[in-house]
Amino acid sequence: MTLEIELANEPAPQAAPYVELTAALTPPHRWKDGLHSARTMLRQSFSMRVGIGLLGCYLVVLVVSLFWTPFDPNATGVGIPLLSPSGANWFGTDRLGMDVFSRVVAATRVDMGITVAAVSIAFVLGTFFGTVAGYFGGAIDIAIMRFLEMLQSFPVLLLAMLIVIAIGPGIPNVILVVAVIGVPGYLRLARAEVLSKKQWQFAEAARMVGSGSWRIAFRHLLPNCTSPLVAFASINAAWVTVIVASLGYIGVGIQPGAAEWGAMISSGQDEVVLGYWWISFFPGIAILGLAGAFYMLGDGFSDATGLKR
């Protein structure tokens, strides 16, 4: 307390001991602050380490698959069909003689790509409309929420199927459909967060210095809501992975015969009863791994930032 009084009456030159103390306690640079807190989060959370590690592996596989796979994932009729896993074919071959490992690796591009793209689009759209609905309220809020309820009243896969049948197959369409399905979660979360923080003093203070409504909503309120949204995004990505694979399993949206985990499970399921387990098993493990990685990342992030889920 005595130090504070010194500060109040006598500026910097005489405040040396206080300055040294606070310099020791405060990290000097802002970007290092960010790195420092990221390292702390990783150190504290086992889930987060596992999640990031696994995601990293998938990413490496994805990048490598763009340049090289052991065998051509789309070459039909070249190899010997239904070989069990061995040194030459790590995951064995399927009914058409294609190497299962190469196909699983190639499918990473499709599944992970669609998941990441769809989650990003859903995040941006959902957060934007959620903030608008939460901050402005009134008729806009009512309109957005009623639309959302209409969207959410359909079973997810059914809705996806209907939309894809309507707009045609192809990867961009699938991304769009999955993004639209994912929007409600982000929208509700962003809206709830903004609603709860709307009355906080700093929001009123921002208005009192002359900020307009849009500025307050997006520049002042939204940055305070990012933690739950990021945690949700990660766990949502796990769910989206499974949705994408399910769509492939049903055979909606993807070219028949294309390398995609869900489609591979579907094509291999008849062989399982005959004892050729590897055709469906390895794509399944791939889905499990990716979804699990996203989930653990989100879980770890929630724990690290102290969020209740």
Partner 1 sequence: MTEAMLSVDALSGAFRSPNGPVEVLHEVSFELNRGSVTGIVGETGSGKSLTSHLMLQIQPKSFMRTNGTICFEGRDVFTMNDAELRAMRGAQIGIVFQDARAALNPVFSIGTQLADVCRLHRKVSRAEARAIAIDALSRVEIPEPARRARQYPHQFSGGMAQRAMIAMALICEPKLLILDEPTTGLDVTTQAAILDLIRALTKESGLTTCLITHDLGVVAELCEDIVVLHDGRVREVGSCEQIFTNPVDSYTRRLLDASKLVLRDEHSTMAEAKVEISV
Q: Among 206, 252, 265, 296, which residue interacts with partner 1 (rule: CB under 8 A)?
A: 206
CB of 302 to partner 1, least distance (A): 18
Instruction: Compare residues 11 and 275 and give the one whose CB is closer to partner 1.
Output: 11
User: Is the distance from CB of 303 to CB of 231 less than 8 angstroms?
Assistant: no
The residues facing 99 across adjacent strands are 93
For residues 214 and 204, give the distance between their C-alpha atoms in angstroms, rounded to a whole number: 13
Residue among 7 and 59 whose Cβ is closer to partner 1:
7
Task: Give the CA count within 13 Å in the CB-facing half-sphere of 102.
Answer: 19
Environment class of residue 58 by beta-carbon count within 10 Å: exposed (0-12), middle (13-18) or buried (19+)? middle
Q: Applying CB under 8 A, which of residues 5, 80, 166, 273 lies at the interface with partner 1?
A: 5
Residue 67 touches partner 1, criterion: CB under 8 A: no
Burial class (CB in 10 A: 0-12, 13-18, 19+), 132: buried
Residue in 39, 219, 255, 309 binding partner 1, rule: CB under 8 A: 219
Q: Which of residues 9-28 bind partner 1 (CB under 8 A)?
A: 9, 11-12, 15, 18-19, 23, 26, 28
- Kindly tell me which residue out of 87, 155, 212, 306 binds partner 1, with binding defined by CB under 8 A: 212
The region that residue 272 occupies, defined by phi over 0 for left and psi between -120 and 50 for alpha, beta otherwise, is alpha
Which is nearer to partner 1, 153 or 201 (by Cβ)?
Answer: 201
Site for partner 1, residues 128 to 187, rule: CB under 8 A: none
Binder among 24, 30, 77, 80 for partner 1 (CB under 8 A): 30
Which one of the spans 1-9, 94-102, 276-284, 300-308 is the region binding partner 1 (CB under 8 A)? 1-9
- Minimum distance from CB of 216 to partner 1 (Å)? 10
Amino acid 92 reads G
Report the C-alpha dihedral over residues 248, 252, 256, 262, rounded to 10 degrees: 10
> Of the two residues 26 and 153, which places its CB atom closer to partner 1 in the complex?
26
Nearest distance, CB of residue 186 and partner 1, angstroms: 19
Token pair for 169: 């197959």
- Give the single-character DSSP code of 253: S
Region for 157 from its dihedrals, namely left if φ exceeds 0, alpha if ψ lies in -120 to 50, beta otherwise: alpha
* Segment contacting partner 1 by CB under 8 A, of 55-63, 119-127, 203-211, 241-249: 203-211
**Site for partner 1 contains 198 (CB under 8 A):** no
Four-residue CA torsion sign, 215, 212, 126, 304: positive
Among 8, 24, 150, 158, the residue binding partner 1 under the rule CB under 8 A is 8
Q: Contact, 54 vs 296, CB < 8 A? A: yes
Closest residue by Cα to residue 186 from 137, 142, 152, 155: 152
Burial category of 127 from C-beta neighbours within 10 Å (exposed 0-12, middle 13-18, buried 19 and up): buried
Which H or E run includes 266? helix 261-273
Residue among 202, 214, 257, 270 that touches partner 1 (CB under 8 A): 202
- Residue position matching structure tokens 């606070």: 22
Contact flag: residue 305 with partner 1 (CB under 8 A): no
Min dist CB 203 to partner 1, Å, is: 9
Q: Please select the residue that binds partner 1; options are 80, 208, 273, 274, rule is CB under 8 A.
A: 208
Q: Which residues bind partner 1 (CB under 8 A)?
A: 1, 4-5, 7-9, 11-12, 15, 18-19, 23, 26, 28-30, 200-202, 204-212, 215, 219-220, 223-224
